[in-house]
Structure 1
Amino acid sequence: MDLTLLYRGPLASCDYDCPYCPFAKRRDSREQLRTDRACLERFAGWATAQTTDRLSLLFTPWGEGLVRSWYRDALTHLSHQPHVRRVAVQTNLSCRTDWLADADLGTLALWCTYHPGQTPYDRFLAKCRELVRLGARFSVGVVGLPEHLEAARRLRADLPDRVYLWVNAAEGHTYDDAEAGVWTALDPLFPYSRRPHASAGLPCRTGESVISVDGEGTVRRCHFVRTELGNLYDGTYRAALRPRPCPLTTCDCHIGYVHLETLPLYDVFAGGVLERIPASPG
């Protein structure tokens, strides 16, 4: 079975305080961190044992995972499993990069977000250049706020052309055609992010070949539909996997709408759906 899993454990702490994020500068207690580590290690153990499946794994923590050793260890370990086709993580790239030397960079990928005002530009760019030097597979992006435009332009100019720079439409922000055109000049795929996608009743791969998993192993079709399909660890989710239409009115997050069958994004991002790398970055 080919199965894509989006894992989000209880980790909610982050080292940044972005004004557009509800988890900015949130601190988890030691007990919460121990719980998160146990949940992640259980999930990694499960994924390691699923040798009859072909797995693609995306870690989407609310907080920043790569500053925690257990995320780096899990990603490294899973990257070497022959039945894991891709293991990727969303990150602000504030962590060190030397751990990547132990990973299989043919399997591991990073979805990196630059947050202007949270880290010096030169420091973030140096991390990206180190990823290039290591041969890591990664994308880089920004939230499309007016105050981020110049930083995004600098990134596009300073990064190699082969590194895809994506732009996320800012939540609650309306883009007129002129403003959208400015962002589209940096990211030709920005029009997919500009407005929420109508999804009610439309076919979506989530719930069939794509599922969301939380720290307790509860399986849902995606992060945005709360209906439970079963549990990962007792196997009850398997019987619930089937084609099903989206029950929501709209879908406005890339990790959701990329799986809509009415959009061509599996072709656009062929080979890089999880890490948000298009088949042709230009």
Structure 2
Amino acid sequence: MKLSILYRGPLASCNYDCPYCPFAKRRDPPEALRADRAALDRFVGWLAAERGTEISVLFTPWGEGLSRSWYREAIVRLSHLPHVERVAIQTNLAARPGFLAAASPAKVALWCTYHPGEVTRSAFLERCREVAGLGVRYSVGVVGLPEHLDEARALRRDLPDEVYLWVNAADGRSYDAAAEADWTAIDPHFGFSVRPHQSLGADCRTGDTVVSVDGDGTVRRCHFVRDPIGNLYDGSWRAGLRPRPCPNTTCDCHIGYVHLRTLPLYDVFAGGVLERIAALR
């Protein structure tokens, strides 16, 4: 059995102050950080014992995980487990990536977001070079706001050709044909992000070979369907795994619609679905 898990614990704090993010400069109180660490430790312990399943993990924290030592430690530990195929995390790359030297580079990947205004392009690119120097695969992306367009073009120019640069359509923003063309020139797959996908009744891998897990172990088919299918720690989730149609009218987030069987994205991102690394053509 193969299973992909999107894990999101209670962490909700970030060191950046992006105006388009509700978690900007949010601070978790000490008790929330302790709860997040305990939840992650429990999840890693469960995963280490789950040797009958080939598992890939994407950490999708609301805040910035790599600034917390327990996420760095978890990534290193999981990368050395024989039944873990991939461990990836969404990150702003503010934390130094040197800890990855202790990880198995073939199993680790980073989904990195560049936030103009929070970090200089030169500093961000230096972190990317550090990651590459450690033999770790990564993707880079930006939010498709008009004020980010010139920086995104420069970032594409400065990144190695083999590094995929993705663009997320900004929430609540519409794109005319010219704007869509500008962003598509940077990310050839921007068209998948720029408009919501009709998903009601569509065949989706979530709830079958892909699940989301909360800090308390609640298992759902994905982050965008609140109905639980069981709990990780009492084993009830296993009986809930099965193919099923999407109950939502639309799906407009990459970590959701990438798993729709009605879209070709498992081919587009072959070998890098969780970390959003497009296959080279």
Bucket of the pairwise TM-score, normalised by the shorter protein: over 0.9
SS of alignment partner, residue 157 of structure 1? helix
Segments of 5+ residues of structure 1 without an aligned counterpart are none
Give the 4+ runs in structure 1 shifted more than 4 A. none
Counterpart amino acid of 1:175? Y
1:56-97 CA-to-partner distances (Å, cap 9, x unmatched) read 100000000000000000000000111000000000000011
Which aligned pairs between 1:12-31 and structure 2 lie closer than 5 A? 12-31=12-31
* CA shift for structure 1 position 15: 0.2
Q: Normalising by the residue count of structure 1, what TM-score does the alignment of the two structures yield?
A: 0.99
Distance 2:18 2:98 in 1: 26
1:101-153 CA-to-partner distances (Å, cap 9, x unmatched) read 00101000000000000112211111011112222100000000000011111
Q: Which residue of 1 aligns with 2:171?
A: 171
Q: Which residue of 2 aligns with 1:137?
A: 137
Q: Which residue of 2 aligns with 1:126?
A: 126
* CA shift for structure 1 position 12: 0.1
Distance 1:211 1:132 in 2: 29
Distance 1:168 1:57 in 2: 21
Q: Normalising by the residue count of structure 2, what TM-score does the alignment of the two structures yield?
A: 0.99
Distance 1:270 1:92 in 2: 24
1:251-282 CA-to-partner distances (Å, cap 9, x unmatched) read 000000000000000011111000000111x6
Distance 1:149 1:131 in 2: 24
Q: Which residue of 1 aligns with 2:67?
A: 67
Distance 1:225 1:103 in 2: 33
Counterpart amino acid of 1:80? H
Q: Which residue of 1 aligns with 2:58?
A: 58
Q: CA RMSD for the aligned pairs? A: 0.7
SS of alignment partner, residue 271 of structure 2? coil
Counterpart amino acid of 2:244? R
Q: Which residue of 2 aligns with 1:98?
A: 98
Distance 2:205 2:117 in 1: 37
Number of corresponding residues: 281
Which aligned pairs between 1:1-282 and structure 2 lie closer than 5 A? 1-280=1-280
Segments of 5+ residues of structure 2 without an aligned counterpart are none
